[in-house]
Structure 1
Amino acid sequence: MTVGTTDALRAAPGWYALSLLHGRIDSHLERALQGGHDLSSREYSLLEVLSHQHDGEGGHLRMNQVADAVVLSQSATTRLVTRLEDRGLLARYLCPTDRRGIYTNVTPAGLELLEQARPTHDAALREALAAAAADPRLEPFVAAVEHLNRAAVG
Protein backbone atom coordinates (compact mmCIF):
# COMPACT_ATOMS: atom_id res chain seq x y z
CA MET A 1 0.00 0.00 0.00
CA THR A 2 1.34 3.45 -0.86
CA VAL A 3 1.52 6.39 1.51
CA GLY A 4 -1.26 8.17 -0.43
CA THR A 5 -3.59 5.19 -0.08
CA THR A 6 -2.88 4.89 3.65
CA ASP A 7 -3.62 8.59 4.14
CA ALA A 8 -6.85 8.24 2.18
CA LEU A 9 -7.97 5.30 4.32
CA ARG A 10 -7.28 7.27 7.50
CA ALA A 11 -9.36 10.17 6.13
CA ALA A 12 -12.20 7.91 5.02
CA PRO A 13 -13.91 7.40 8.41
CA GLY A 14 -14.41 11.15 8.76
CA TRP A 15 -15.65 11.46 5.20
CA TYR A 16 -18.08 8.56 5.66
CA ALA A 17 -19.36 10.04 8.91
CA LEU A 18 -19.88 13.42 7.24
CA SER A 19 -21.66 11.72 4.33
CA LEU A 20 -23.82 9.77 6.77
CA LEU A 21 -24.76 12.96 8.63
CA HIS A 22 -25.70 14.68 5.38
CA GLY A 23 -27.77 11.71 4.25
CA ARG A 24 -29.66 11.48 7.53
CA ILE A 25 -30.40 15.20 7.62
CA ASP A 26 -31.45 15.31 3.97
CA SER A 27 -33.74 12.28 4.37
CA HIS A 28 -35.39 13.80 7.44
CA LEU A 29 -35.85 17.17 5.70
CA GLU A 30 -37.20 15.45 2.59
CA ARG A 31 -39.89 13.57 4.52
CA ALA A 32 -40.92 16.64 6.51
CA LEU A 33 -41.06 19.02 3.54
CA GLN A 34 -42.77 16.55 1.19
CA GLY A 35 -45.34 15.58 3.81
CA GLY A 36 -46.12 19.10 4.93
CA HIS A 37 -45.63 21.25 1.83
CA ASP A 38 -45.17 19.07 -1.27
CA LEU A 39 -41.58 20.33 -1.59
CA SER A 40 -38.37 18.38 -1.91
CA SER A 41 -35.38 19.48 0.12
CA ARG A 42 -33.71 20.61 -3.15
CA GLU A 43 -36.78 22.65 -4.10
CA TYR A 44 -36.79 24.27 -0.66
CA SER A 45 -33.06 25.06 -0.96
CA LEU A 46 -33.56 26.61 -4.38
CA LEU A 47 -36.43 28.79 -3.16
CA GLU A 48 -34.38 29.81 -0.12
CA VAL A 49 -31.33 30.77 -2.20
CA LEU A 50 -33.37 32.71 -4.77
CA SER A 51 -35.42 34.48 -2.09
CA HIS A 52 -32.30 36.37 -1.00
CA GLN A 53 -31.78 38.05 -4.37
CA HIS A 54 -32.27 41.80 -4.71
CA ASP A 55 -32.48 44.39 -7.47
CA GLY A 56 -29.20 46.11 -6.62
CA GLU A 57 -25.85 45.59 -8.31
CA GLY A 58 -24.97 41.90 -8.31
CA GLY A 59 -28.25 41.07 -6.64
CA HIS A 60 -29.35 38.34 -9.05
CA LEU A 61 -27.70 35.00 -9.60
CA ARG A 62 -27.06 33.52 -13.02
CA MET A 63 -28.00 29.87 -13.50
CA ASN A 64 -24.42 28.64 -12.98
CA GLN A 65 -24.31 30.52 -9.66
CA VAL A 66 -27.67 29.04 -8.66
CA ALA A 67 -26.36 25.56 -9.54
CA ASP A 68 -23.32 26.12 -7.32
CA ALA A 69 -25.48 27.42 -4.47
CA VAL A 70 -27.78 24.37 -4.45
CA VAL A 71 -24.97 21.90 -5.27
CA LEU A 72 -26.45 20.55 -8.49
CA SER A 73 -25.25 20.35 -12.05
CA GLN A 74 -26.39 23.16 -14.31
CA SER A 75 -28.71 20.83 -16.23
CA ALA A 76 -30.27 19.46 -13.01
CA THR A 77 -30.72 23.02 -11.76
CA THR A 78 -32.44 24.02 -15.01
CA ARG A 79 -34.83 21.05 -14.66
CA LEU A 80 -35.52 22.00 -11.04
CA VAL A 81 -36.17 25.64 -11.99
CA THR A 82 -38.51 24.51 -14.78
CA ARG A 83 -40.43 22.25 -12.38
CA LEU A 84 -40.92 25.10 -9.90
CA GLU A 85 -41.75 27.52 -12.71
CA ASP A 86 -44.44 25.10 -13.93
CA ARG A 87 -45.89 25.16 -10.39
CA GLY A 88 -45.96 28.98 -10.44
CA LEU A 89 -43.31 29.29 -7.70
CA LEU A 90 -40.57 30.80 -9.89
CA ALA A 91 -40.50 33.09 -12.93
CA ARG A 92 -37.67 33.63 -15.40
CA TYR A 93 -36.89 36.86 -17.21
CA LEU A 94 -34.14 38.30 -19.39
CA CYS A 95 -31.40 40.29 -17.72
CA PRO A 96 -32.10 43.97 -18.52
CA THR A 97 -28.40 44.76 -19.12
CA ASP A 98 -27.36 41.54 -20.91
CA ARG A 99 -30.01 39.98 -23.14
CA ARG A 100 -28.11 36.69 -23.07
CA GLY A 101 -28.58 36.35 -19.31
CA ILE A 102 -31.67 34.79 -17.78
CA TYR A 103 -32.59 35.42 -14.18
CA THR A 104 -35.03 33.57 -11.98
CA ASN A 105 -37.17 35.18 -9.29
CA VAL A 106 -39.35 33.63 -6.64
CA THR A 107 -43.00 34.53 -7.29
CA PRO A 108 -45.33 35.72 -4.53
CA ALA A 109 -46.76 32.18 -4.40
CA GLY A 110 -43.22 30.81 -4.03
CA LEU A 111 -42.42 33.24 -1.24
CA GLU A 112 -45.64 32.30 0.54
CA LEU A 113 -44.87 28.58 0.29
CA LEU A 114 -41.31 29.20 1.47
CA GLU A 115 -42.57 31.09 4.53
CA GLN A 116 -45.03 28.28 5.30
CA ALA A 117 -42.33 25.63 4.88
CA ARG A 118 -39.55 27.40 6.80
CA PRO A 119 -40.77 26.38 10.31
CA THR A 120 -41.13 22.78 9.13
CA HIS A 121 -37.63 22.85 7.64
CA ASP A 122 -36.09 24.42 10.74
CA ALA A 123 -37.82 22.00 13.13
CA ALA A 124 -36.85 18.99 10.99
CA LEU A 125 -33.25 20.21 10.88
CA ARG A 126 -33.15 20.60 14.66
CA GLU A 127 -34.64 17.10 15.07
CA ALA A 128 -32.16 15.54 12.66
CA LEU A 129 -29.19 17.24 14.31
CA ALA A 130 -30.37 16.21 17.78
CA ALA A 131 -30.75 12.58 16.69
CA ALA A 132 -27.34 12.63 14.99
CA ALA A 133 -25.66 14.12 18.07
CA ALA A 134 -26.49 10.90 19.93
CA ASP A 135 -24.25 8.95 17.52
CA PRO A 136 -20.59 9.23 18.62
CA ARG A 137 -19.43 9.07 14.98
CA LEU A 138 -21.56 12.08 14.08
CA GLU A 139 -21.43 14.19 17.25
CA PRO A 140 -18.24 16.10 16.28
CA PHE A 141 -19.82 17.11 12.97
CA VAL A 142 -23.04 18.16 14.67
CA ALA A 143 -21.01 20.26 17.11
CA ALA A 144 -19.23 21.90 14.17
CA VAL A 145 -22.53 22.66 12.42
CA GLU A 146 -23.98 24.14 15.61
CA HIS A 147 -20.84 26.25 16.11
CA LEU A 148 -21.10 27.56 12.52
CA ASN A 149 -24.78 28.35 13.03
CA ARG A 150 -24.04 30.33 16.21
CA ALA A 151 -21.23 32.21 14.46
CA ALA A 152 -23.49 33.08 11.51
CA VAL A 153 -26.18 34.67 13.67
CA GLY A 154 -24.12 36.54 16.01
Structure 2
Amino acid sequence: MTATDPSLTALAQGWCALSLLHGRIEAHIEKALQSAHDLSVREYSLLDVLGRQHDGEGGHLQMKQVADAVVLSQSATTRLVTRLEDRGLLARYLCPTDRRGIYTDVTDTGRTLLEQARPTNEKALREALDQAATHPELAPLVRALEAHGVAA
Protein backbone atom coordinates (compact mmCIF):
# COMPACT_ATOMS: atom_id res chain seq x y z
CA MET A 1 0.00 0.00 0.00
CA THR A 2 1.10 3.52 -0.73
CA ALA A 3 -0.01 6.81 0.76
CA THR A 4 -2.13 7.44 -2.35
CA ASP A 5 -3.87 4.05 -2.20
CA PRO A 6 -7.65 4.75 -2.34
CA SER A 7 -8.37 2.15 0.34
CA LEU A 8 -5.95 3.86 2.69
CA THR A 9 -7.64 7.18 2.05
CA ALA A 10 -11.05 5.64 2.69
CA LEU A 11 -9.76 4.04 5.88
CA ALA A 12 -8.33 7.34 7.08
CA GLN A 13 -11.58 9.12 6.25
CA GLY A 14 -13.53 6.46 8.13
CA TRP A 15 -11.28 6.87 11.14
CA CYS A 16 -11.76 10.65 11.07
CA ALA A 17 -15.54 10.21 10.90
CA LEU A 18 -15.49 7.75 13.79
CA SER A 19 -13.34 10.11 15.87
CA LEU A 20 -15.70 13.00 15.07
CA LEU A 21 -18.75 10.92 16.03
CA HIS A 22 -17.15 9.86 19.30
CA GLY A 23 -16.19 13.44 20.15
CA ARG A 24 -19.68 14.77 19.45
CA ILE A 25 -21.35 12.03 21.48
CA GLU A 26 -18.99 12.44 24.41
CA ALA A 27 -19.38 16.24 24.45
CA HIS A 28 -23.18 15.99 24.37
CA ILE A 29 -23.31 13.39 27.14
CA GLU A 30 -20.75 15.34 29.20
CA LYS A 31 -22.90 18.47 29.09
CA ALA A 32 -26.04 16.55 30.08
CA LEU A 33 -24.41 14.61 32.94
CA GLN A 34 -22.60 17.68 34.30
CA SER A 35 -25.69 19.87 34.34
CA ALA A 36 -28.08 17.27 35.75
CA HIS A 37 -25.86 15.21 38.09
CA ASP A 38 -22.49 16.96 38.50
CA LEU A 39 -20.79 13.96 36.87
CA SER A 40 -18.31 13.81 34.02
CA VAL A 41 -18.52 11.14 31.33
CA ARG A 42 -15.46 9.45 32.85
CA GLU A 43 -16.98 9.48 36.34
CA TYR A 44 -20.23 8.04 35.02
CA SER A 45 -18.35 5.36 33.09
CA LEU A 46 -16.36 4.39 36.17
CA LEU A 47 -19.48 4.16 38.34
CA ASP A 48 -21.20 2.13 35.62
CA VAL A 49 -18.31 -0.35 35.27
CA LEU A 50 -17.92 -0.77 39.02
CA GLY A 51 -21.68 -0.96 39.47
CA ARG A 52 -21.77 -4.06 37.27
CA GLN A 53 -19.42 -6.04 39.53
CA HIS A 54 -20.84 -9.08 41.30
CA ASP A 55 -19.88 -11.44 44.10
CA GLY A 56 -19.45 -14.47 41.85
CA GLU A 57 -16.22 -15.85 40.43
CA GLY A 58 -14.29 -13.06 38.71
CA GLY A 59 -16.95 -10.56 39.69
CA HIS A 60 -14.63 -7.96 41.21
CA LEU A 61 -12.28 -6.09 38.94
CA GLN A 62 -8.65 -5.29 39.60
CA MET A 63 -7.57 -1.69 38.94
CA LYS A 64 -5.95 -2.63 35.61
CA GLN A 65 -9.22 -4.20 34.45
CA VAL A 66 -11.14 -1.12 35.55
CA ALA A 67 -8.65 1.13 33.72
CA ASP A 68 -9.05 -0.92 30.54
CA ALA A 69 -12.84 -0.79 30.82
CA VAL A 70 -12.94 3.01 31.15
CA VAL A 71 -10.10 3.54 28.66
CA LEU A 72 -7.78 5.39 31.03
CA SER A 73 -4.28 4.75 32.31
CA GLN A 74 -4.02 3.01 35.68
CA SER A 75 -2.75 6.21 37.30
CA ALA A 76 -5.60 8.30 35.86
CA THR A 77 -8.08 5.63 36.97
CA THR A 78 -6.63 5.64 40.49
CA ARG A 79 -6.97 9.44 40.65
CA LEU A 80 -10.56 9.19 39.42
CA VAL A 81 -11.36 6.50 42.01
CA THR A 82 -9.87 8.72 44.73
CA ARG A 83 -11.95 11.69 43.59
CA LEU A 84 -15.17 9.65 43.65
CA GLU A 85 -14.19 8.06 46.95
CA ASP A 86 -13.75 11.56 48.41
CA ARG A 87 -17.30 12.36 47.23
CA GLY A 88 -18.61 9.24 49.00
CA LEU A 89 -19.55 7.48 45.75
CA LEU A 90 -16.93 4.71 45.93
CA ALA A 91 -15.26 2.74 48.71
CA ARG A 92 -12.10 0.65 48.65
CA TYR A 93 -11.69 -2.54 50.65
CA LEU A 94 -9.26 -5.40 51.06
CA CYS A 95 -9.90 -8.60 49.16
CA PRO A 96 -11.12 -11.14 51.74
CA THR A 97 -9.06 -13.98 50.20
CA ASP A 98 -5.88 -12.03 49.38
CA ARG A 99 -5.06 -9.22 51.80
CA ARG A 100 -2.73 -7.69 49.19
CA GLY A 101 -5.61 -7.06 46.81
CA ILE A 102 -7.65 -3.89 47.04
CA TYR A 103 -11.02 -3.64 45.35
CA THR A 104 -13.31 -0.69 44.76
CA ASP A 105 -17.06 -0.81 45.01
CA VAL A 106 -19.89 1.65 44.49
CA THR A 107 -21.45 2.93 47.72
CA ASP A 108 -25.20 3.20 48.24
CA THR A 109 -24.91 6.92 47.49
CA GLY A 110 -23.00 6.11 44.30
CA ARG A 111 -25.59 3.53 43.24
CA THR A 112 -28.38 6.04 43.75
CA LEU A 113 -26.55 8.66 41.68
CA LEU A 114 -25.78 6.09 38.98
CA GLU A 115 -29.44 5.07 38.74
CA GLN A 116 -30.47 8.73 38.53
CA ALA A 117 -27.85 9.47 35.88
CA ARG A 118 -28.43 6.39 33.69
CA PRO A 119 -31.59 7.78 31.96
CA THR A 120 -29.79 11.10 31.39
CA ASN A 121 -26.87 9.27 29.79
CA GLU A 122 -29.15 7.19 27.57
CA LYS A 123 -31.25 10.19 26.51
CA ALA A 124 -28.15 12.25 25.70
CA LEU A 125 -26.69 9.34 23.72
CA ARG A 126 -29.90 9.03 21.70
CA GLU A 127 -29.97 12.79 21.06
CA ALA A 128 -26.31 12.85 19.99
CA LEU A 129 -26.84 9.92 17.61
CA ASP A 130 -29.98 11.49 16.15
CA GLN A 131 -28.06 14.73 15.53
CA ALA A 132 -25.12 12.84 14.01
CA ALA A 133 -27.44 10.89 11.71
CA THR A 134 -28.28 14.13 9.91
CA HIS A 135 -24.66 14.46 8.72
CA PRO A 136 -23.89 12.41 5.60
CA GLU A 137 -20.37 11.50 6.76
CA LEU A 138 -21.62 10.25 10.16
CA ALA A 139 -24.94 8.65 9.20
CA PRO A 140 -23.41 5.31 8.09
CA LEU A 141 -21.64 4.97 11.45
CA VAL A 142 -24.85 5.72 13.34
CA ARG A 143 -26.69 3.12 11.26
CA ALA A 144 -23.94 0.58 11.97
CA LEU A 145 -24.21 1.20 15.72
CA GLU A 146 -27.97 0.90 15.63
CA ALA A 147 -27.83 -2.28 13.51
CA HIS A 148 -25.68 -3.91 16.17
CA GLY A 149 -28.01 -2.88 18.99
CA VAL A 150 -25.45 -0.54 20.51
CA ALA A 151 -27.77 2.45 20.51
CA ALA A 152 -31.18 0.91 20.05
Instruction: Flag whether TM exceeds 0.5 (same fold).
Output: yes
Taking the TM superposition and a 5 Å limit, the aligned residue runs for 1:4-153 are: 4-7=2-5, 8-149=8-149
Segment drifting more, 36-45 vs 137-146:
137-146
- Structure 2: runs of 5+ lacking an equivalent: none
What is the CA-CA distance between 1:146 and the residue it aligns to?
1.1
- Structure 1: runs of 5+ lacking an equivalent: none
The separation in 1 between residues aligned to 2:109 and 2:2, in whole angstroms, is 52
The separation in 2 between residues aligned to 1:101 and 1:144, in whole angstroms, is 40
What is the CA-CA distance between 1:6 and the residue it aligns to?
3.6
> Secondary structure of 2:143's match?
helix
User: Whose helix proportion is higher, 1 or 2?
Assistant: 1
Structure 1 residue identity aligned to 2:78:
T
Taking only aligned residues, the RMSD between alpha carbons, in angstroms, comes to: 1.5
What is the identity percentage for the equivalent residue pairs of Structure 1 and Structure 2? 71
Change (3 A) 1:117 1:5: same
What is the CA-CA distance between 1:4 and the residue it aligns to?
4.4
TM-score if structure 1 supplies the norm length? 0.92
What is the CA-CA distance between 1:148 and the residue it aligns to?
2.0
TM-superposition CA deviations, 1:80-107 (whole Å, max 9, x none): 1000000000000111112221111000
What is the CA-CA distance between 1:68 and the residue it aligns to?
0.4
The separation in 1 between residues aligned to 2:143 and 2:46, in whole angstroms, is 26
TM-superposition CA deviations, 1:34-82 (whole Å, max 9, x none): 0000000010011011111011110000000000000001111001100
> Secondary structure of 1:136's match?
coil
